[in-house]
Amino acid sequence: MRSRRLLTIAAALAGLVLTGSTAASAVSDHSGFRPPADSLRTLAAPIGLRMGTAAVPSELAAYGQIIGDQFSVVTPGNEMKWQLVEPTQGTYDWSGGDNLVAFARAHDQLVRGHTLAWHNQLPTWLTDGVTNGTISNDQLRALLRKHVTDEVTHFRGKIWQWDVANEFFTDSTPSQMNPNDFWVSHLGTGILEDVFRWARAADPHAILCYNDYNIGGEDGSNAKADAVYAWAKQALADRVPLDCIGDQGHLDTQYGFSGTLMQQDLQRYADLGLKVAITEADVRTFVNNATDNVPTDHLAVFAQPFEYDQMLKACLFVRQCISFTIWGLTDASSWIPAVFAGEGYALIYDINLNPKPAYTVMQQDLRLASGGAPRRAGTGH
């Protein structure tokens, strides 16, 4: 079944991925930075879509030219997470985030802040204090409020979108807000609404997003998507300052993927009046080893660009989809091999920094979209 599916994809894409790129008019930016005429960011600009990537400082140093040329929005991989910004209680280190903001400004890019409330990558002084009882639930709530307020205030006016809250819902069926989540288990489900109110108070102009995975039918089920949608609808009824839903878009070629289902899910959030964004896209597959990063199934080199194509088209067909971010630049520094044993090949540049077929497919999708896709809705909140 899987082989038949991959053969169909291969036939559909064989001509497309071998087609060379053609020139498009360049975009001249107020910073003086001028990206290539056929870059992803330039091709997406006519319809108002921001193409993005995630990066850590070492990647900005090593791949800065490509990141600047190809993308108009950048997300810090780790540098705005609580563990890094306040490693010692009361002592902040904003340097990583500040440096990324400076890079973005020099390359006429916007910044997606990531992430304010998440169960992972918390400072040990916080988690240890909760575990040993020296931090009560009331104190924990006050600390979270201070963290959100301090970080959003520090970056006020410099962040386009904030991932205010990340991965609060279960993957199980029926899906629900995860009772075992660090924040929910200690502070209750209402904390998810509170963090949005605190973020809005600190920066009235940033776009505030809830961010999660498997909420666009990526896993073949709508259970989690339905749960997040129901929460978002109620949050808006409760006048929570929720502006945006971020669908991470982590895919795997072995499971299949419906771009139509993702488009439908993005559209129903848009119908609530929300903006939507693809925030952490990658498409992994099984590889021979982490060093060579060669797919074990040769048809995966067609399946991977096909799934990127389907994700991007889902975004392009929804006018309120304002950005499409890939979770990294090159397979050489992808997070996938360390988390998914035996898998890799997830990004659009290979380990030698050569653009892969997925890059070419997305480039052509954007070129075609400039002649017919709807221009994005307003990009402020």
Q: What pLDDT digit, counting tens, does each position of 164-188 carry?
A: 999 999 988 788 999 999 999 999 9
Instruction: State the alpha helices, DSSP H only, in 166-286.
Output: 182-187, 191-202, 223-237, 259-271
Distance from C-alpha of 333 to C-alpha of 59, rounded to nearest angstrom:
8
Mean pLDDT for all residues in the chain: 91
Least confident of 51-60, 264-273, 367-376: 367-376
What is the set of domains in the chain, with CATH numbers? 2-12+33-369 (3.20.20.80)
pLDDT digits (tens, 9 = 90+) for 219-256: 667 889 999 999 999 999 999 999 999 999 999 999 88
Which of 32 and 336 is assigned the larger pLDDT? Answer: 336
pTM of the predicted protein model: 0.91
Sequence-ordered strand ranges (E) for the chain: 50-55, 73-76, 110-117, 161-166, 207-212, 244-247, 250-252, 275-286, 321-326, 343-344
φ, ψ of residue 342 in degrees (nearest 5) = 80, 5
**Summary count for the chain: helices (H), strands (E):** 14, 10
Q: Is the confidence at residue 3, as pLDDT, over 70?
A: no
- Whether the pLDDT of residue 7 is over 70: the answer is no
To 5 degrees, how large is the angle CA 162–CA 277–CA 161?
20
259: Cα separation from own chain's centroid: 17
What pLDDT was estimated at residue 213?
A: 95
CA distance 329 to 346: 10
What's the pLDDT score for residue 285?
97
Give 346's pLDDT tier (boundaries 50, 70, 90).
Answer: very high
Residues annotated as part of the active site: 167, 280
| pLDDT tier for residue 371 given thresholds of 50, 70 and 90 | confident
Q: How far apart are CA 298 and CA 18, in angstroms?
A: 16
170 and 176 in contact (C-beta within 8 Å)? yes
Of 27-31, 203-207, 208-212, the poorest mean pLDDT is in 27-31
> What mean pLDDT do residues 66-93 have?
98
